[in-house]
Amino acid sequence: MTKKNKILVFLSYSNKDKKIAADIKQGLERFGLSVFMAHDDIDWSEDWRDTVYKNLQECHVFIALLTENFRQSVMANQEAGFAIAEDKIMASLIADDAIDIRDFGFLEEKQAKRFSAEKANEIYIAILDKINKDDELRDTMQKSLVVVYRKETSPEGVGFIYDLLKKYKVKIDYPLTNGEIIKGTKSKAIYRIEDEKKRTFPDLPTFNALTSGGGFRIIPDEILNKIPYGEPFDSVLSSPLIHNKNEGKVYVVLNNRKHWVNSAPLLREWGRLGQQEEASQDELDKYDDGETFS
């Protein structure tokens, strides 16, 4: 199971608790960790004992899901004993309110935390905090978090991971490209980047024209607020509409750029069909070319 540039986690649990174990695996992998869970990750054509032993050896972090079922599981207790002997980073999660941590021997010393769905993120962060304290694993974990951050698409997720990276003092470069559409994690406003400045849209038709009705990238408000404002975009509903008979094209001029509108239905949608004015070639040549609107 060795995966390059990944923090490897061994999740130890009783077969009877595999549903909650699967939830924990999914939760931890959201943070870029690679979690071994026997019932998910073993090819049962293999010798499963060899696979378990190999993953115990290779893991960086050992998590014990403590329940009454765990206490009665010979295999789970053997896994825990091996991890303690190998001095793995340990985390004990109590998922059964009825159990007494003192029944789990050496695991009692591993700062056990009571696990619940409501406190899941809090517990996952506590595990990340432990990893971040390890000099050999810190860099790998932080790089994995940066990858997660760059792939995240929800405003809540971007903000959450960004705050976590700030907590770990990870600096993130955030290159912006011309034409990119961005939105903050909490702000409702949507912007387009031009010359490293954010520009606003005056109305929905202009937004749809300049973004092709596509999506946008979510960035933290803290970063968004540092990007200077550029000139707002002119509106496709009121900007000059020009036509040159030699070219046979209709253009709308937005902020000194001419955009070919090659769709009569689009002009009709704007309420501007037939409103174009004739322009000479010299007049057309005054404007830079912009995107085609169709």
**Residue 73 and residue 216 in one domain:** no
Helices and strands per DSSP (H, E), number in the chain: 12, 14
**Residue 73 and residue 124 in one domain:** yes
Structure-model confidence comparison of residues 176 and 58, the more confident one:
58
209 located within any domain: yes
State mean pLDDT over 183-209. 93
**Residue 105 and residue 36 in one domain:** yes
**Residue 190 and residue 260 in one domain:** no
State mean pLDDT over 158-181. 90
Q: What is the mean pLDDT of the chain?
A: 89
**Residue 152 and residue 12 in one domain:** yes
233 located within any domain: no
Percent of the chain with pLDDT over 90: 65
Residue 1: pLDDT over 50: no
Q: What is the pLDDT of residue 42?
A: 55
**Residue 203 and residue 245 in one domain:** no
Q: What is the pLDDT of residue 3?
A: 56
Residue 231: pLDDT over 70: yes
Distance of CA 211 to the CA centre of its chain: 22
**Residue 12 and residue 156 in one domain:** yes
Residue 95: pLDDT over 90: no
State mean pLDDT over 194-219. 90
Q: Is 215 helix (H, G, I), strand (E, B) or coil?
A: coil
Q: Residue holding tokens 């020009």?
A: 242
44 located within any domain: yes
Domain, as residue range, for 215: 181-224
Query: In the 8-state DSSP scheme, what is residue 293?
Result: B
CATH number, domain of 126, equals 3.40.50.450
**Residue 251 and residue 279 in one domain:** yes
**Residue 272 and residue 138 in one domain:** no
pTM listed for this prediction: 0.78
State mean pLDDT over 154-180. 91
**Residue 66 and residue 131 in one domain:** yes
Percent of the chain with pLDDT over 70: 91
Write down the H helix ranges in 133-263: 138-151, 155-167, 204-211, 221-224
Residue 2: pLDDT over 50: no
